[in-house]
Every structure is written in structure tokens, then in C-alpha cells.
Amino acid sequence: MARQLLVPLDGSPQSTEALDYALETFPEAHLLLVHVLTPADSSVGADGLLTDPSGVVAEQRDRAETLFEEAETTAGDDRTVDRELLAGRPAREIVRCAEDNDIDGIVMGSHGRDGAARLLLGSVSETVVRRSPVPVTVVR
């Protein structure tokens, strides 16, 4: 059975490098591409759905669709690729997705933050490495 790899995409050069690494290093793996919407300017309505008065979520969804399409083109027609659009805090949602699916590993990019920015903002990849139930490969 082929390995199942989760590859988060955020549009950064590092996430593109992570996708390339996953494709080259695990040629038989099934990829689950994930993008996490961060709807900070939205709220949850009474029906449990996101409300989006400023259009932020719609813009993020459009961006996610573009990222998925570009990644699928890069992967080619011979590769099994699925996609999942999530919403929330990126590290938490990536870990939850790995827990909820039959994932063998995560391949993700590092944003290379250092110094004060890393201390103040934290690192999504660092948090995923600490909390993931499966091995994580961080690509620089």
C-alpha cells in the first residue's frame, strides 16, 4: 500500500519546496494537499458557518484554489492527489488533519523565522513537529 503524505500549502517558496521534495522523495506516495484558511476577520454565525463581511474568506478560498491547481499540475496526472481546505489555526488544523486521516507523514516548509519574530509569533512547522502523531519532514 502506498504511503499517505500530508503536504500543507501556504503559497510560500518553502511550501513549494516541500511539495517538490515530497514528489521527488516519495514517488509512489498518495498526497493530501492541505490549505488552512485563517478567517481572523470573520465570525461564526448561529448556524455554525463562517460569516465573512469583509470578503477575506472568499479571497483566501480563491487563493487556496489556485495553490491546489498549481500543486496538482506540478504533481502531474500519474499521481494520486487529494485536497482539503480547513479553517482555523494552521498548526492545530494540520495536526488534526493528520490525526483524522490515515496519514503516514507530513512534509512541510519552514518559514525560517528567527530571533524576536519566532519568539513572538512561534512557528507553525515547529508546533506541528512537537504535536504531530506522525513523522514530520521540514523542508527549508
Q: What residue segments make up the domains of the chain, in order of their start? A: 4-139
Strands, DSSP E only, in 20-139? 30-37, 43-44, 50-51, 81-87, 105-109, 136-139
Q: Which fold has domain 4-139?
A: Rossmann fold (3.40.50)
Q: Could you tell me if 35 and 9 are in contact, meaning their C-beta atoms sit under 8 angstroms apart?
A: yes
Q: For the segment 31-68, what is each residue's pLDDT rounded down to a tens digit?
A: 999 999 986 645 555 565 556 556 777 888 999 999 99
Query: Model-level pTM?
Result: 0.85
Q: For the segment 17-31, what is each residue's pLDDT rounded down to a tens digit?
A: 999 999 999 999 999
Strands, DSSP E only, in 9-116? 30-37, 43-44, 50-51, 81-87, 105-109
